[in-house]
Each structure stands twice: as C-alpha cells, then as structure tokens.
Amino acid sequence: MNKLYIYVCLSLFLAACGGGGSESITAQPLPAAGDPLPVPIQSQVAVTEFSLEEINPKKAADMIVSTAKTSHEIVVPDGFALSSERSFNLRITRSQDDNQAAYLSLCSDYKQHNDGSYSINYDSCLLRTSLSDINYEAAIVVTNDTPGLVAALWFMDESKKPLITDWRF
C-alpha cells in the first residue's frame, strides 16, 4: 500500500511539471540570395607618428694621438666611460580618431626588401605589448652592436594593414 501511494504521488507530481502555456515562435524569412549588401562606411585614415630618440647621444671626440709603446703607458681621459649599450625613448602617438586596440612589436632582426616590404624575425623582439591608449612611451635599451630597430603596429581590426617603420643607427 505504501508503494502504491508513492507511485500515485510521483505520477501526479510529474504530470504537474508540464510545460504550461503555449508559446509560438515565428521564423523570420531569410533575405533573397541576390539582395545587395549595404555599402560599408569608410573610415578616415588615422595618422600615427613614431619617434625613437637617443637619451644620451654619444658625440665623436677629437682623435687623441698616443705615444704609448706598452699598455701600462696608456692614459685614459677624464670622463671616459666604456658603455656597451644605448638608451632610447620610444614614443607612439595616434590620432584621436584611432582609438581601437592595437599590438606593438619592436624587433631588431629584420630586412627591408626593394619593394618596401619587410621580413621581420619576431623572435628578436625587444618589446611586445598591447596598446589601448592613444599615446605610448617606453624607454628602450639596446646593445651597441644593434644596427637598427623596426616597429610593427598591428590592429585588432584585421581589415587594417599593420603600420611598419624602422630606424637605422
């Protein structure tokens, strides 16, 4: 009797869990295949400026003639510092119209082709960062044997080509 009571209660409970009221879903007709697409909105070309300025540029000094015959006779002038690196300020300024996110790669190993295109070794990048602000500034330190740098600014909007500029030292 107890089992019969449980079966009756469960069947009433399951019957009460029905879907309720009726809801109709109307399918929207698809546009015909021959309908033309709307004309895309053309955006204004954004202006981006790149600058790379050396922080403490080294100036060539006058040639010092030495009469030293051995290494212990060499005299080093005051203020001489043998530095194996150079420091630069990197500034990227984008126009107010260009407020979309972008990705910056600053690399040292690259080649510029005769047609103006570049081959960049992205494994040689000194800096990889995302840019969400219009202005970006960073201090970059490179070794003296670095012949140049290339900056590639990639936009998250894949329809825009990357902006690439380089500097030779």
71 is a domain residue: no
123 burial type by CB count under 10 A (0-12 exposed, 13-18 middle, 19+ buried): exposed
Q: Is the residue at 142 inside a domain?
A: yes
Tell me, what's the pLDDT at 39? 45
Q: How many CA atoms lie within 13 A of 123 on its CB side?
A: 0
What's the CATH number where 91 sits? 2.60.40
- pLDDT, tens digit (0-9, with 9 covering 90-100), for 53-62: 888 776 666 7
- For residue 92, pLDDT over 50 is answered with yes
pLDDT at residue number 8: 65
Is residue 144 in some structural domain?
yes
Of 54-63, 119-128, 157-166, the least confident: 54-63
Query: How confident is residue 66, by pLDDT bands cut at 50, 70 and 90?
Result: confident
* Structural domain harbouring 122: 48-54+83-168
The span from the CA of 133 to the CA of 94, in Å, is 9
Alpha helices of the chain — where are they, by DSSP H?
Answer: 2-16
How many domains does the chain contain in total? Answer: 1
Res 25: pLDDT: 38
* Within a domain: 105: yes
- 31 within some domain: no
Domain membership of residue 76 (yes or no) is no
pTM (2 d.p.): 0.61
For 118, counting Cβ atoms within 10 Å of its Cβ (0-12 exposed, 13-18 middle, 19+ buried), the class is middle
Q: Say if 25 falls within a structural domain.
A: no
Would you say residue 43 has pLDDT above 50?
Answer: no
User: Is residue 147 situated within a structural domain?
Assistant: yes
Is the separation of the CB atoms in 152 and 105 below 8 Å? Answer: yes
